[in-house]
Structure 1
């Protein structure tokens, strides 16, 4: 016998819960795809190439606007030689090369603005850059031969324009080759066929174009005002805008030039600062996140493979092996054990990422320094540059000290100096930022701690400061401390209840109190639950906006997970770690601890790929998103016209908390059911009635 009007509410409630779970599954799957997506490497290659395209165009313009040969008068040098007219075929081929390069760059910009599809823009860009590079290479080859050179060789030399052509040709070829590589990967399905550039990526490209235009226009103006050759003015504008300031021959000497320098230099500082800021935003924030995710996943897989079922242990690092067994532990204690191990994995992988990034950026900076000095040594042989002098010159240039006692004078040296100093901007920006995360931070912490021992004693005294120092030395060790943490799961339950009970005394619970006075206890509990969700969302928003990424303790995670309907004491939403299995499966893979192959079963482990400690989101972002989704689903449920759906029992009971707070039994285990369980039970009972 059917109860009229009961099937539909139960079905609607079950459908609402299924929709919510489905949304959560889709969200988890999307985050997992983003986390495991390998295309971020191609994206960084792509944006790097897009950024160097305008620089290469600028060098092509430098190679076109001046003659390629100079005559050296007696007693002079190649930097002050007389220009010799180029043949018309050289100018024509050089112009065609620039047209191909500009067309390739324009197609990139149109693709960036979504006015040209990837399938059309990418071939145009690759072919355009290849043709531009090959034409310049052909010109450089001919210009290096006796067909173009004028005898006697001692009285003739090649100008800066020739060397700018070499640099531009090399950049074009590298850009085209790497873009062909990424296009092949997209064609094979390894990468997306259309990279969606972020705001920071677009900004970096536009600012790079703006910087090159600003540099060349400024050089053109000052070459006219000061009577310099255009490429000498480019050399001057470069070391002026980058604040190197060599001085020497190329300094403004006219009143007009000195007057124009004031606004030009300020504009240059702003432009360079914007480029540096974009580099930090693009590489040091987004890139750091991606790099951390990969290091985290590699470390997690390695730790999972180290599970030893015989000794009931798991190896965290080479020198760190801890007990990993659920024997004699409650579900909450077992989950807390997983949490602390995962937190340790997170700490070690992040430390490795920081120092790996520091090593890579240091290596890049050292290569830039040593190889740059090698080029300067050979280009400045007429000045008698030794390798040590070249190292000294490169060092004071990298740090923008610019004493001016040594300055490049050859045509090759000036052209290379412009390109080399532009490379130094992102290289040193990344190096300094990585040093700030490691060496400088460690030195700062050590200085503060040392001050607490000497001139600035800690508020708690010298002994407390010494304890802090010793704790930092042995930080991160999982031993007896972690066992004590795992055995204190009961205290985390107390903290959860205390935190919830504290809201009972909030003045904002007017509606809940009003419902209580009318005897509508279920309405009161629903109001209380919604109030808690809203307040916690506000708190999490502050954590998200914090400059330092916040990490939560296990008792905080236990509290938040309970708010979204995932009780850490309930094993139905958890995956069981297979710690009692052999070291490896027969196929050589690690035991499966909560990977994302659960289908539609919403179950996860702290050591799994769907762990909140994994992925690209910070912990406050992860929690804020889930709490907001939960609050949204609750609002939809409350707006339902169906009384039974609307008044399903919430997971937080105000009455029980008030009772426990008054009786002192806050530590007792909560016996409330989640909304999902209530609906499932209702639907099951209706199916039983129908079958009867």
Structure 2
């Protein structure tokens, strides 16, 4: 059996739990097909009940709306019925596979066959009508029914191609044959079917009550349920107006449910397959660049290891940063910016070696482009401490969150502009005879329709424009909704934050805003502190007046920053976005206790209570490194392998503080869990409490 990248290329069974590949083909394609299938059926029904040719008044100079239908041949109607039956059968087989009633290997080939037949039959009818009974211009043209058939055949063919891609991935062994649909995916399929059933059924009722043709009734129902309301069609009878109450109310409910399900589905796909991959690449890049000591630094750069003649001297040299830099200076130039270490290797001039000091001042000879590309220029991350790796992971999380927001906004904007500009182009061409639209006018019309304004000064009038508008508008609604949601989470949120900041500093000043600003910007705080010190040195220091009791220090020294009104940043570690006290300290003052087992058990109970409270925080709370260190101590103290205090004293063993059993930027990092940090910590603390209680029972 052959394999590709570690995955078998043979078909996989129903109970195969190996990792999936081709996530779009395995997950997105079946749901896309299940949602566009009902739309194809609605279009096919419209093509069946409508004549495919009409006669225009005034010898072809009249509007398309005033055309009179021409009876279709009997073979066209029968073939159209067969096509609709095949399309419905394919959709039913797909649904039966989703619910596990029919096996994948049986249901999907039959569904593909049915949809291909449906598409082929419609295309054959269209070609036969064009060859044998075409409309006679200029008095006769194709009706909306014909163009509904064209769109239906396209959707059937598109769905069958997507299912073929899905089967290709299955035969290559990229995923199993079972679709484990979650609740959101099942809901999306059911709500889409209900919406299109309601749309098609409502069009039939309006057709009977108002005397519209079914094609016009379908267009009217679509415009009504999307709340566009161009005004070119309106109910005239009491029955039509009364049914509009029910139709509009339930239609908006069904539409809202479909849009909500599509938004959740798109967000879940993005989070599982795009955002996670971006975070994975960022972590891999960080791990690939991270070094914790000089030995790793030399190994990464391909430099010779330092001779270890004296272990004590080597340890002292490793602890001294300046000596470490000077020992490596003979190989190249190092630049330290924060945690980033950039190394540029010295290149001897004219191929001759020279001393490190001379190479630093020697001008490099001109090299070819290939030699420049081979020139070593490494950028590494110096992460010597556990806290450094924790902060690096926090930085990855923050960068990923910002990237997620702006990536989603950019994708929604791109989809919106493509839909807007492409739709304007199509409407400019389809309405050329009826309205003689320019492209700018078409852009204006699409903008009014996308935002559901519906002035009514421009509306589709042609037999091709109305069917295309139905499909275009139904695709536009979820795209516009997702765009609005992404704009709210990025642009609107940033605007609100800027408004609050402006109000805090101007018309509605908030107490402590200066202190918070200086605490968040330590560089500005340090600059102001130094400036105040220079100012006092310039004008001279003045001691307290002994005669003034209010200026007595009572033996306590007051810092310069406090006297000058500059409050230093607090040193108590806080988690981001919350003002809770550290977990190891309860809200009330607690006595200082040694880290005995009984003391840690009491701290464990306090921590469980505090973390349970954090579960209600919105946004979810993120803990600082110091809090994680305390959590780790409380989780580990009850382990079965933990030594007692007497055993530690006898064996001379002592657990290292802040030691964790995971790598903060590794695959087992708790910061990569699908649940909130508070929930993850609470689970581990409860497990620790259970182990402690079990130990007490064993002792008794």
Mapped contact 1:160–1:411 kept (Cα < 8 A):
yes
1:220-369 → structure 2 map (5 Å cutoff) = 220-248=204-232, 250-285=233-268, 287-307=270-290, 309-310=297-298, 315=340, 324-326=382-384, 334-369=385-420
**Matches of 1:556 and 1:574, distance apart in 2:** 13
Give me the whole-angstrom Cα distance separating, in 1, the residues matched to 2:36 and 2:445: 25
Question: Under a length normalisation based on structure 1, what TM-score does the superposition of the two structures give?
Answer: 0.70
| Aligned-pair CA distance for 1:391 | 0.7
Instruction: Flag the structure with higher helix content.
Output: 1
* CA distance in 2: counterparts of 1:220 and 1:322, whole angstroms: 68
**2:621 aligned residue:** 550
**In 2, Cα distance between equivalents of 1:538 and 1:497:** 14
SS of 2:51's partner is coil
540 and 38 in structure 1: CA distance in 2 versus 1, 3 angstrom threshold: farther
CA distance in 2, matches of 1:442, 1:555: 30
CA 1:290 to 1:214, structure 2 compared with 1: closer, same or farther past 3 Å?
A: same
Q: Does the residue aligned with 1:384 lie in a helix, a strand or coil? A: coil
Q: Indicate the structure whose relative CO is greater, using CA pairs within 8 Å and at least 6 residues apart.
A: 1
Whether 1:451 aligns to 2:503 is yes
Instruction: Indicate if the aligned counterparts of 1:54 and 1:212 stay in contact, CA closer than 8 A.
Output: yes
User: Are the equivalent residues in 2 in contact too, given 1:503–1:532 (CA < 8 A)?
Assistant: no
CA distance in 2, matches of 1:40, 1:626: 35
Q: Contact 1:284/1:430 (CA < 8 Å) preserved in 2?
A: no
Is the aligned partner of 1:502 residue 2:586?
yes
Measured after TM superposition, the shift of residue 228 of structure 1 is: 0.7
Match of 1:418 in 2: 470
2:271 matches 1:197: no
Cα distance change, pair 162–570 in 1 and its aligned pair in 2 (3 A)? farther
Any conservation in 2 of the 1:56–1:171 contact (CA below 8 Å)? Answer: yes
Q: For residues 94-147 of structure 1, what are the alpha-carbon distances to aligned partners after superposition, in whole Å with 9 as ceiling and x for unaligned?
A: 22221111111112222222322333322222222222222222223333x232
In 2, are the aligned partners of 1:35 and 1:293 still within 8 Å (CA)? no
Q: CA deviation at 1:562?
A: 2.7
In 1, Cα distance between equivalents of 2:589 and 2:520:
40
Equivalences for residues 400-479 of structure 1 within 5 A: 400-461=452-513, 463-464=514-515
Deviation of the 1:197 alpha carbon: 0.8
* Structure 1 pair 633–189 and aligned structure 2 pair: CA distance change class (3 A): farther
Higher Cα Rg: structure 1 or 2? Answer: 2
Q: Quick check: 1:541–1:624 contact (8 Å CA) kept in 2?
A: no
Aligned partners of 2:456, 2:226: CA distance in 1, in Å?
15
The alignment of Structure 1 onto Structure 2 pairs a total of residues equal to 536
User: What is the alpha-carbon distance in structure 1 between the residues aligned to residue 138 and residue 522 of structure 2?
Assistant: 70
Contact 1:293 1:615 in 2 (8 A): no
Residue 150 of structure 2 is matched in structure 1 by: 166
Counterpart check, 1:385 vs 2:437: yes
Give 4+ residue runs of structure 1 displaced > 4 Å after superposition: 33-38, 310-317, 320-323, 464-473, 488-492, 495-498, 503-506, 524-527, 569-575, 628-635
Query: What is the CA-CA distance between 1:298 and the residue it aligns to?
Result: 1.3
Are residues 1:559 and 2:630 paired? yes
Q: Could you say which residue in structure 2 is the equivalent of 1:142?
A: 128
Aligned-pair distance for 1:490?
11
CA contact (8 A) 2:203 2:214 kept: yes
Question: What's the CA shift for 1:161?
Answer: 1.4
Contact (CA 8 Å) 1:380, 1:413: kept in 2 or not?
Answer: yes
Give the Cα–Cα distance (whole angstroms) in 2 for the partners of residues 350 and 188 of structure 1.
34
Q: Are the equivalent residues in 2 in contact too, given 1:393–1:407 (CA < 8 A)?
A: yes
* 1:45 paired residue number: 29
TM-score (norm 2): 0.69
Write the distance in 2 (CA, Å) between the matches of 1:435 and 1:366.
Answer: 15
Structure 1: which 5+ residue stretches go unaligned? 1-32, 327-333, 474-487, 507-520, 576-602, 648-692
2:140 match: 156
Aligned Cα root-mean-square deviation (Å): 3.7
Where structure 2 has 5 or more consecutive residues not aligned to the other structure, the ranges are: 1-16, 292-296, 299-333, 343-377, 525-570, 591-595, 640-653
What is the DSSP-based 3-state SS (H/G/I as helix, E as strand, rest coil) of the residue aligned with 1:606?
coil
SS across alignment from 1:402? coil
